A and B are shown apart, each in its own frame.
Chain A
């Protein structure tokens, strides 16, 4: 990649970060607030705080993961992309930068929240047994975002995007229910040490494969497109 190409991509990605800045910040704040809420457990079996916190956390990440691909689609539909393509930018560079910017934007709160939770849990005296569940869930949410992004940038269709949102959202509940039944996770949340069983490692490997495949398609196919409009 030449220096000038890197520089063009950098400017396009910076542009998207500017446009997404409040969304990223809001996601980070809502994520942290929801994690704090999960700590509000009065110790006598009342779990309203943790439940609400967990739901808010999930909703925040899912909503963020849905918003970014929709913003990419909106730029195409509102014809703002014509403005960008009037600059010394090729369609391939533009498409690449859109996916890269959306991915990096998603990774900012995702990484901060995932590694924040893992680090705090590992460093605190509390049980680490729930970590594999948490990591698999976060990887699933990342995979869902990548799938939805790929679907949106490849089809550029609102109907396809809505269908993708429905399917990925429903899949979260199904996934979490099934994940809770996997040996090595079921009934291990209060274990002092996290158990990374072969089953959980298999789940993570599948998630990784989905992420890599989705991103490959999202980066490759739109950059081969001949027509912007």
Chain B
């Protein structure tokens, strides 16, 4: 088994009004994991534990083979981290920041790449951070993380609060970076459009628990929404893989998380007319997963 870029095993962290509960997941080298959850789901807490900003109460965390938080300094040599709440030093120029980060990574720092990113992001070395817009600050932080050529990129809601153009620029640059198949990325967001664009693995988190995890294409493939017509006198059979049934008169909308061709056939045999079978967007899948999970836990 290869060393995972990130491995969480039974990680818990308890606060007064929130608890991260038995979180386990694994990110393989070269993969891009979209870490999706509503606000307050535990995404940032998970990432803080991952970056050793917060110590877990229980469980084990390994980043690039280093135990966290004990071996955090060794791990961080190969990790680039950008967070929505992170701020650069307002009174210093971008050039000073470049020099500061470069001094930590004299071997790995790629000055030419940093120059290219400056141009691409329309940033100037002489600019003071306090003169940058929010979008430019995110790009600057991303530049500082990318130019050191890390093996693992951890991005905590990097596109939050950006206008659509700035968001697309950041996503495009990330797509460019993804060409390097050795680099792993953990991309946390509540914006499923961003996640859908760049991720190949998806993990959903809600109320401190991982609610589903898997390959993005497999996710999109196994979730379907079926529109049925069914006489009101006939009961809809309970079938495996169905997570939600909404019935209004003769119209029934069924949401399934384990769709195969047998499902519409089974409904037809039960006397229903299958009007439509729709693929679902990641956002719809995310909402359905969260709602189903909450219902299962009686929340």
Contacts and interface: CB of A to CB of B under 8 A. Distances in A.
Given A78-B87, A80-B87, A226 B54 contact: yes
A88 B145 CA distance: 12
B77 interface: yes
Interface string A179-210: 00000000000000000000000000000000
A89 B103 CA distance: 13
Contacts of A79: 85-87
A214 to B, nearest CB: 26
A180 to B, nearest CB: 41
A82 B88 CA distance: 9
Nearest to B79: A86
Nearest to A15: B100
B51 A85 contact: yes
A91 B52 contact: yes
Nearest to B104: A87
Contacts, number: 73
B235 to A, nearest CB: 52
A86 B72 CA distance: 10
B128 to A, nearest CB: 12
A83 B94 CA distance: 13
B275 to A, nearest CB: 51
A86 B145 contact: yes
Size category of the B interface is: 20 to 34
A80 B101 CA distance: 13
A19 B87 contact: no
A82 B85 contact: yes
Interface in A14-40: 15, 18-19
Interface residues of A, number: 22
A229 B48 contact: yes
Contacts of A6: none
A88 B83 contact: no
A88 B79 CA distance: 9
A82 B48 CA distance: 10
A82 B52 contact: no
A15 to B, nearest CB: 6
B270 interface: no
B54 A90 contact: no
Contacts of A80: 86-90
Interface string B72-109: 11101101111101111111100010001101100000
B55 A226 contact: yes
Contact of B80 (A19, A86, A90): A86
Kindly name the residue among A18, A80, A83, A89 whose own CB sees the greatest number of chain B CB atoms within 10 A.
A83
B33 interface: no
B88 to A, nearest CB: 6
A19 B54 contact: no
Contacts of A91: 52-53, 69
Interface string B268-286: 0000000000000000000
Contacts of B86: 79-80, 82-83, 86
A229 B104 contact: no
Interface string A113-134: 0000000000000000000000
Contacts of A228: 48, 53-54
B237 to A, nearest CB: 50
Interface string A216-229: 00000000001111
B141 interface: yes
Closest 8 CB pairs of A and B: A86-B81, A226-B55, A88-B76, A82-B86, A228-B53, A227-B54, A79-B87, A88-B73
Interface of A: 8, 11, 15, 18-19, 78-80, 82-83, 85-91, 93, 226-229
16 contacts: A11-B100, A11-B103, A15-B100, A78-B90, A80-B86, A82-B86, A83-B87, A83-B89, A83-B141, A86-B80, A86-B81, A86-B145, A87-B101, A87-B104, A90-B72, A227-B55
Interface of B: 48, 51-55, 69, 72-74, 76-77, 79-83, 85-92, 96, 100-101, 103-104, 141, 145
